[in-house]
């Protein structure tokens, strides 16, 4: 850029020096002047979601000083949903267990919309009567938390989110209401889907005996003799309260 002094002064060395100072920027601003009296700075990549203030000072040959200041918000990354995950650890969960699921964004976002309800995550539990995790907390943060309580009849070997209710809701960058999250949907990359980064099993079925076989040979056994049987269950079980002699 340049000003009238570029044209007025034949001796470009008489042109005053421009200095720039800033707050909110981590990179110093260096100003240089070419032989024609034009000033320029290097490109600067400011931190995202911050507020910066730049002050420009110009001193002429008579040591008169002019100062101007500009403030602006920095928003260089568009908000997006990057992962569906869970705060609940991997494992098996039965009826009554509370599952905490998360929508994770690349920056803090907020949703607005239907005042009568909140966003929900559709789960792979049931087809005729789909089950949903209800929004719990995090609006305005980068992680939004949803909760679901397991009930009798819920069963899946790999809990997953199959849909996100978006009708009537808009997600936007908390630092700029005009910058919206364009696509709220299941991430394409499986590693960013719930089933791709968590191993949560929902099992409300009680185990059953599938077979009962005699191991000991047929015959007569008196006091103190041991008999052996093989019992198979419909799923892995832990038997407690019995010793090896019972």
User: Taking the C-alpha atoms of 83, 84, 89 and 94 in order, what is their torsion angle to the nearest 10 degrees?
Assistant: -170
Mean pLDDT for 219-229 is 78
- Could you give the CA distance from residue 8 to residue 15 in angstroms, rounded to a whole number? 9
Range with the poorest average pLDDT among 66-80, 117-131, 142-156: 66-80
Q: What is the mean pLDDT of residues 116-138?
A: 91
Per-residue pLDDT tens over the stretch 18-38: 676 666 666 777 777 777 767
Nearest residue to 53 via CA among 5, 20, 99, 14: 20
Average pLDDT of the residues of the chain: 82
What pLDDT shows up at residue 245? 56
CB 133 within 8 A of CB 99: yes
Residue 179: the pLDDT is 86
Q: Is the pLDDT of residue 237 over 80?
A: no
pLDDT band at 4 (very low <50, low <70, confident <90, very high): low
SS3 of residue 227 by DSSP: coil
Alpha helices in the chain (DSSP H): 5-8, 194-197
64-118 confidence digits (pLDDT tens): 777 877 776 666 678 999 999 999 999 999 999 999 999 999 999 999 987 778 9
| 228: phi then psi, degrees, rounded to nearest 5 | -120, 135
Residues 6+ away with beta carbon under 8 Å from 198: 85, 86, 88, 90, 159
pLDDT band with cut points at 50, 70 and 90 for residue 224: confident
Please check whether residue 146 is in contact with residue 101, taking contact to mean a CB–CB distance below 8 angstroms: yes
Q: What is the pLDDT of residue 138?
A: 96
């Amino acid at each position: 850029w340049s000003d009238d002094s570029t044209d007025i002064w034949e001796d470009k060395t008489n042109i005053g020096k421009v200095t720039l100072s800033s707050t909110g920027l981590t990179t110093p601003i260096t100003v240089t002047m070419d032989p024609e009296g034009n000033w320029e700075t290097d490109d600067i990549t400011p931190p995202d979601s911050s507020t910066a203030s730049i002050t420009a000072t110009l001193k002429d040959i008579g040591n008169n000083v002019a100062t101007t200041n500009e403030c602006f918000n920095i928003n260089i990354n568009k908000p997006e949903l990057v992962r569906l995950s869970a705060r609940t650890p991997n494992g098996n969960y039965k009826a009554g267990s509370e599952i905490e699921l998360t929508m994770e964004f690349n920056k803090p976002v907020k949703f607005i919309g239907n005042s009568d309800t909140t966003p929900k995550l559709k789960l792979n539990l049931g087809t005729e009567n789909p089950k949903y995790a209800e929004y719990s907390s995090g609006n305005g943060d980068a992680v939004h938390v949803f909760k679901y309580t397991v009930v009798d009849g819920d069963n899946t070997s790999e809990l997953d989110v199959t849909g996100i209710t978006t009708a009537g809701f808009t997600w936007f960058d908390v630092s700029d209401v005009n910058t919206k999250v364009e696509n709220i949907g299941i991430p394409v990359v499986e590693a960013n889907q719930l089933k791709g980064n968590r191993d949560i099993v929902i099992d409300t079925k009680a185990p059953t005996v599938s077979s009962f076989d005699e191991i000991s040979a047929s015959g007569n056994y008196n006091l103190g003799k041991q008999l052996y049987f093989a019992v198979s269950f419909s799923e892995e079980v832990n038997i407690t309260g019995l010793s090896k002699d019972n």
